[in-house]
A and B are shown apart, each in its own frame.
Chain A
Amino acid sequence: MAGSKTYDPYEAWKNLMINWEKQANDVIHFWTNSRDYIKWSQGATDLQLRYLEMFQRNQQLLLTQLQLPTKKDLANVAKLSIQTEEKLDALEEQLWNVEDAIESTNKQVGSLTEVSREAVKVIKQLKTEQKRDKKELETIDEIHFELLEIKRELAEMNSLKEEIASLKAQLAGSKQDKEKELAALTK
């Protein structure tokens, strides 16, 4: 139905109650906002507290006579457990420091291990190089020996050459002698 709205009695009641509540609260604040009310309120509180104090005193007396712990006794025990908790907390925090120290030591040890691992690697490399050098040295020794051999052989060849030269000279001398003998014979 265009233009018409449904009446909700609950909604109307709600609006009425909310307005009433607001006005009632305003009235209460207005009435209680006075020195007289405050004095009366303090008097009522004092009276209530006086009765409660009396009750507490009597209860404590009774509990003491019955050898039973009072609320204060139980509170004292609870306070001891709170103190223990605080000590445990302090210990935990100290353990944090130890934990942190161990962690940093572990880190240092880790870096030292890393360094020593590097050193081992370098030593291994050096050893390999040393082996290689040794082999090279052996090769050089062999070459040196061979050179000496060649030198010796060359020296031997030189002496052979000299012998051949002297034989050659002897042969030339004997040839001349023979020619002289032949010339003498032919004459």
Chain B
Amino acid sequence: MATYSIHVNGETKKVDVAADTPLLWVLRDTLGLVGTKYGCGIAQCGACTVHLNGTAVRSCALPISAIGTSKITTIEGLSKEGDHPVQQAWQEVDVPQCGYCQAGQIMSAAALLSKTPNPSEEQIATAMNGNICRCGTYHRIKEAVVLASTKMK
């Protein structure tokens, strides 16, 4: 066990965990931020996606010891009121079905749009490719990403 100071959603948090503990489990088990989901544990499904200095990363495969001073943003911290353009678009399009993958989808979409405000269809498909939705809401995800991009203008 070791103590780590990490920057999560604008706050500094001290956690006492083993060095190889994936960020996912620090968020969920230690900090109670359960919006970030466990889906596969091997960075293949995207349910655990968070931002590390604004870039989408898979928190299930990111050990706490590798984070250092990087800024972590989770779904809970994407916006104060849940009104980030991507969240607004998600709500307007009524994207989720079971909803379990959606936090990861939203984080991937938000990271894409922050760097590429007007993505092409191909860029959307590429950026969202690593986020699996078992209910098959992909058509609405794409629609919402396009809508969000118009909101960010």
* A and B bind: no
